[in-house]
Structure 1
């Protein structure tokens, strides 16, 4: 997904519950059908939904093991009016590992492909070299919608359009003025997020799928922050091309998580973003990567 959605798309996404995100039905063999739902900024299927449902389809073919990593490519826009078929290929199964490839198909056309790995936990070395940024707790940070509503007289129209309404996840941005008003020299931004509806989900592997859904939100746009307003507008197009996610420990998505994102590089029309997701205790629970199309649009006539 790109960096934001229209108010209409955001409202539709907000109505998607955790149960709906995880709603796939078996279709014979290693095939599953998922509803399209979850609209993004241009009216197609939100990328995080493709990632989450493809991963869940793989989970349904693996006994017990939790997912440890995934990498997906967005091949073509998925239409919200059509069901999505997830075709799972069992690449390898061993005592400790399983590998799956999932292809999401609409009307015979591949729109998304995912490779993922599962691993049975075992005793081993433990360390964490990544430090959680020193940021205010979520209770002391305004929601993104509230910030936009309170500062509408100072904001670009695209910010008001994309962020004043409901969003797919509950999100509280740290120092939002840094990228709404300024062009920060360092392409970095942090935000708290959670999916309150995940409280009803007990299965840790389904929680991992919900994290996959949420991890796609507001990641790619960090690569635009030094150059222009970091959301889709009449002068800037951001569109995700791939998505990578590594799970370091079990997580609950109904609890607050901090996504620390930055962009090491952008060139040749592409932006590259990396992220680290921490829980409130400062434990690194996941790492993310994403490449996006980062295109400056010509002025409207």
Structure 2
């Protein structure tokens, strides 16, 4: 995948029955299905059953089994409630006879109300000052560990620019946070809000567990740690577009018992808070039995 059009072909599901949809998978460099893909496809399925113009405002999901890249994923949507202001959907994802994922999503009618938000970090580096993942691969690829080389070489419909460049060979502990600018590749005009929310959901599963590993970077890295998304929640606040860079700021308040918890906020470049994300992930050290 190289553009937003390629991404949409992945996220927009095939309808195969009443409230039942099929999806396929694309790797992002991992041997299993990317969690952000399943999240976004499930939201696509849930949104397709909303007929009253209500807008997604929150979702909560659990990853139950690793997805097989070679098998289709079937999404079944249950209509839990259509109330006076809110509509709730439950989505279950299957591969063959195995349930791999469950999600609940709530949609709200448009209403006027109070408005406030936290502020964007001051003095944060702008994307024009930073190297993208593509830039890092082209500039430093030969000097990076093979696993990182392989990951950065994957073509993606999103460009990512971390606000700090960390040398993976330094092996020193870092603060429990991580900030990344991102921007879609290709024509982003004319996307409706539901579609933009599905794309943002896909992006939200990138990078977030990095904040949980940073405080242990002197000994922990992606090559000696088993990582996986366990659950994922997201709240959507405001309308937005993808015409400019957006900032994903992440922090990890805690890690324990081979699990790391992280939360993040997604802002437009001019400081509008679009969404908040929370995720707990498996960060299990690989034991050396020698």
TM-score, normalised with respect to structure 2: 0.90
Q: Could you tell me which of 41, 45, 49 is aligned with 2:33?
A: 45
The question of whether the paired residues in 2 share the 8 Å contact of 1:143 and 1:172 is answered with yes
1:209 and 2:198 are equivalent in the alignment: yes
What residue in structure 2 maps to residue 54 of structure 1? 42
The question of whether the paired residues in 2 share the 8 Å contact of 1:68 and 1:247 is answered with yes
The question of whether the paired residues in 1 share the 8 Å contact of 2:144 and 2:168 is answered with no
Partner of 1:27, secondary structure, is: strand
Partner of 1:18, secondary structure, is: helix
* Structure 1 gaps, min length 5: 1-11
Mapping of 1:151-166 within 5 angstroms? 151-152=140-141, 155-166=144-155
Tell me: CA distance 1:26–1:127, structure 2 relative to 1, closer, same or farther (3 Å). Answer: same
Tell me: CA distance 1:168–1:231, structure 2 relative to 1, closer, same or farther (3 Å). Answer: farther
Tell me: CA distance 1:116–1:230, structure 2 relative to 1, closer, same or farther (3 Å). Answer: farther
1:261 and 2:250 are equivalent in the alignment: yes
Partner of 1:287, secondary structure, is: strand
Distance across 2 between alignment mates of 1:279 and 1:238 = 29
CA RMSD of aligned residues (A): 2.3
1:279 and 2:283 are equivalent in the alignment: no
What residue in structure 1 maps to residue 241 of structure 2? 252
Q: Could you tell me which of 208, 212, 219 is aligned with 1:223?
A: 212
Instruction: Give how far 1:133 is off.
Output: 4.7
Partner of 1:241, secondary structure, is: strand
1:23 and 2:12 are equivalent in the alignment: yes
Distance across 2 between alignment mates of 1:217 and 1:230 = 18
Q: Could you tell me which of 66, 87, 108 is aligned with 2:97?
A: 108
Distance across 2 between alignment mates of 1:14 and 1:300 = 44
How many residue pairs align between the two structures?
A: 288
The question of whether the paired residues in 2 share the 8 Å contact of 1:158 and 1:231 is answered with no
The question of whether the paired residues in 2 share the 8 Å contact of 1:221 and 1:230 is answered with no
Instruction: Give how far 1:196 is off.
Output: 2.1
The question of whether the paired residues in 2 share the 8 Å contact of 1:18 and 1:198 is answered with no
Instruction: Give how far 1:140 is off.
Output: 2.0
Instruction: Give how far 1:45 is off.
Output: 1.3
Partner of 1:226, secondary structure, is: helix
The question of whether the paired residues in 1 share the 8 Å contact of 2:4 and 2:184 is answered with no
What residue in structure 1 maps to residue 75 of structure 2? 86
The question of whether the paired residues in 2 share the 8 Å contact of 1:187 and 1:226 is answered with yes
Distance across 2 between alignment mates of 1:254 and 1:231 = 34
Distance across 1 between alignment mates of 2:81 and 2:165 = 44
Distance across 2 between alignment mates of 1:46 and 1:67 = 22
The question of whether the paired residues in 1 share the 8 Å contact of 2:4 and 2:186 is answered with no
TM-score, normalised with respect to structure 1: 0.87
Q: Could you tell me which of 220, 230, 233 is aligned with 1:241?
A: 230
Tell me: CA distance 1:58–1:88, structure 2 relative to 1, closer, same or farther (3 Å). Answer: same
Distance across 1 between alignment mates of 2:98 and 2:14 = 20
1:118 and 2:118 are equivalent in the alignment: no
Residues 270-301 of structure 1: CA deviation (Å, up to 9, x unaligned)? 00011010001111111011111111112486
